């Protein structure tokens, strides 16, 4: 764990210590790399080299005066991948999944495959939810957890939450047409009671040419924590298996050619 500079900003990162199949974990909004490293780190590290970084205003990385933007988050991620100097697998949750899709569109040369968990390609695809605000029950606990690692202190928790809320209501804004341009294989994974509507999730899956879909039953947006073993098994099979997958009766993939 160290401090690096991404786009002129000091950033907390876990850098890879060896070569090999590399997974970059992309955390969700108002979260941090620690969450994914704690849940997915132990099982995935058996077969992959893991690396991660905390985006601006998240975890151990200080915020800036700028509003949160998925495009800026993608810029950070691209800078991180260029620093690594290797093609990687992206495993992103929530906002991290959305960032991964944007990176795959912009820089497929840096990405082998993407596992997008609990993501959405447009903000209008979310299930209607009550806003979580500084006045909400549970905010004090969130603020304490935020301040435990953030260099900005507990007073900044409300600022970050407002920036995140605005982001969730206005971004992402990808279209189905743009999704058809994703040229790397993508696993779309959600809980059956996730934050994105299931019809939105299916349209995400159907729009990306080399995609696979996993809907985990009895799961919410916290699907990775609720069904860790099952999720890891599916993610590993996707990252290491043939693309397109070998099936007995291919229909959607009938004309995709031999697996590679």
* Domain residue ranges of the chain, discontinuous segments joined by +: 2-129+174-240
Give residue 94's region: left, alpha or beta (phi > 0; psi -120 to 50).
left
Q: Is 156 helix (H, G, I), strand (E, B) or coil?
A: helix
Q: Say which DSSP state 143 is in.
A: H
Tokens standing for residue 95: 């906002």
Question: Is 117:190 a contact under the CB 8 Å cutoff?
Answer: yes
Q: CB-based contacts of 82: which residues, under 8 Å, 6+ apart?
A: 110
Q: Which helix (H) or strand (E) holds 167?
A: helix 157-170
Per-residue tens of pLDDT for the chain, all 260 residues: 699 999 999 999 999 989 999 999 999 999 999 999 999 999 999 999 999 999 999 999 999 999 999 999 999 999 999 999 999 999 999 999 999 999 999 999 999 999 999 999 999 999 999 999 999 999 999 999 999 999 999 999 999 999 999 999 999 999 999 999 999 999 999 999 999 999 999 999 999 999 999 999 999 999 999 999 999 999 999 999 999 999 999 998 876 554 55
Tokens standing for residue 258: 């031999």
Q: How many CB atoms lie within 10 A of CB 66?
A: 10
What architecture is the 2-129+174-240 domain classified under in CATH? Answer: 3-Layer(aba) Sandwich (3.40)
Question: Is 104:187 a contact under the CB 8 Å cutoff?
Answer: no
213-230 burial: b if 16+ Cβ within 10 Å, else e: ebbbeebebebbbebeee
Question: Is 50:36 a contact under the CB 8 Å cutoff?
Answer: no
CA 250/CA 248 separation, integer angstroms: 6
- Report pLDDT for 255: 67
Provide the whole-model pTM.
0.96
How far CA 178 is from CA of 104, 121, 205, in Å, comes to 11, 10, 13
Question: Is 52:33 a contact under the CB 8 Å cutoff?
Answer: yes
């Amino acid at each position: 764990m160290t401090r690096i500079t991404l786009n002129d900003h000091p950033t907390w990162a876990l850098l890879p210590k060896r070569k090999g199949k590399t997974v970059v974990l992309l955390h969700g909004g108002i979260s941090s790399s620690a969450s994914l490293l704690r849940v997915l780190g132990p099982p995935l590290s058996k077969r992959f080299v893991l690396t991660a970084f905390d985006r601006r205003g998240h975890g151990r990385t200080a915020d800036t005066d700028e509003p949160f933007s998925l495009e800026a988050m993608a810029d950070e991620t691209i800078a991180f991948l260029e620093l690594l100097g290797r093609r990687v697998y992206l495993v992103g949750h929530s906002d991290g999944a959305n960032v991964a899709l944007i990176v795959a569109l912009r820089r497929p040369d840096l990405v082998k495959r993407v596992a997008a968990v609990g993501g959405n390609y447009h903000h209008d695809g979310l299930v209607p939810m009550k806003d979580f605000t500084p006045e909400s029950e549970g905010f004090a606990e969130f603020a304490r957890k935020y301040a435990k690692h953030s260099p900005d202190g507990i007073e900044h928790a409300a600022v970050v939450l407002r920036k995140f809320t605005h982001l969730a209501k206005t971004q992402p804004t990808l279209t189905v047409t743009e999704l058809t341009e994703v040229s790397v294989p993508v696993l779309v994974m959600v809980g059956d009671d996730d934050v994105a509507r299931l019809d939105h999730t299916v349209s995400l899956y159907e729009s990306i040419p080399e995609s696979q879909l996993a809907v985990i039953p009895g799961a919410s947006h916290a699907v990775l924590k609720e069904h860790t073993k099952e999720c890891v098994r599916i993610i590993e099979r996707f990252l290491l298996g043939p693309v397109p997958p070998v099936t007995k009766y291919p229909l959607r993939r009938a004309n995709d050619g031999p697996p590679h």
